[in-house]
């Protein structure tokens, strides 16, 4: 859904060709979501099928599939409505599933590992990753690389949240041990 709506947003901002959309999408998302050409053209075909985009102006003659990349697209009124709905609707139901969370929960449930060691190993790796993101952030130019900078901020804060959660796990377990021991 994100790629479909993102391409729709790029076309709404300015009529565009398939090949231009691919690079614009990649640059606006700091290269984090590389798209292949096939994915772009399939998405464009579906957007057209659903009446959200149409061939732009005089490039409107329908060609063969091989001409898809030479055709410019523009948004329809329905397309603008769909886009507005996407922006107006918060992202919900994010899954808590995550390998780190699952590993820690399973380690607690099964007692098949030294839990403190599992927590420490992960915290150390996550901290190292966070240092790496920060290094990129120090080198980033806020004027020229805003998307990249904001993406790094998101990654840093996720890593920060993971470290806090690992700390919390350790503290809760310690508290439980103390209560049981007393």
Binding site for another protein (CB under 8 A): 120, 123-124, 126-128, 130-135, 138-139, 156-157, 159-160, 163-164, 167, 170-171
Nearest distance, CB of residue 109 and another protein, angstroms: 23
Residue 40 or residue 152: which is nearer to another protein going by CB? Answer: 152
How far apart are alpha carbons 144 and 121 in whole angstroms?
36
Residue 4 or residue 129: which is nearer to another protein going by CB? Answer: 129
Residue 52 or residue 166: which is nearer to another protein going by CB? Answer: 166
Would you tell me how many other CB atoms lie within 10 Å of the CB of residue 143?
7
Nearest distance, CB of residue 28 and another protein, angstroms: 22
Whole-Å CA distances, 13 to 7, 8, 66, 73, 102: 10, 9, 25, 11, 41
Which tokens belong to 151? 């993406």
Nearest distance, CB of residue 138 and another protein, angstroms: 5
Q: Which residues have a Cβ under 8 Å from the Cβ of 104 and sit 6 or more positions away?
A: 115, 118, 119, 122, 166, 169
Nearest distance, CB of residue 171 and another protein, angstroms: 6
Residue 13 or residue 101: which is nearer to another protein going by CB? Answer: 101
Q: Is the dihedral of CA 17, 22, 25, 26 positive or negative?
A: negative
């Amino acid at each position: 859904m994100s790629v479909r709506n993102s391409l729709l947003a790029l076309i709404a901002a300015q009529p565009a060709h398939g090949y231009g959309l691919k690079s614009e999408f990649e640059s606006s998302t700091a290269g984090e979501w590389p798209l292949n050409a096939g994915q772009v053209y399939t998405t464009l075909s579906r957007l057209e099928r659903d009446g959200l985009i149409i061939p732009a102006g005089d490039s409107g003659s329908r060609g063969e599939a091989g001409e898809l990349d030479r055709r410019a697209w523009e948004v329809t009124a329905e397309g603008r409505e769909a886009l507005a709905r996407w922006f107006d609707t918060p992202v919900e139901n994010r899954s808590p599933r995550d390998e780190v969370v699952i590993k820690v929960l399973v380690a607690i449930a099964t007692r098949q590992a030294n839990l403190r060691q599992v927590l420490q190993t992960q915290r150390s790796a996550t901290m190292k990753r966070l240092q790496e993101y920060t290094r990129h952030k120090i080198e980033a130019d806020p004027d020229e690389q805003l998307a990249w900078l904001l993406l790094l901020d998101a990654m840093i804060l996720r890593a920060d949240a993971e470290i806090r959660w690992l700390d919390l796990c350790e503290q809760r377990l310690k508290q439980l041990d103390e209560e049981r021991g007393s």
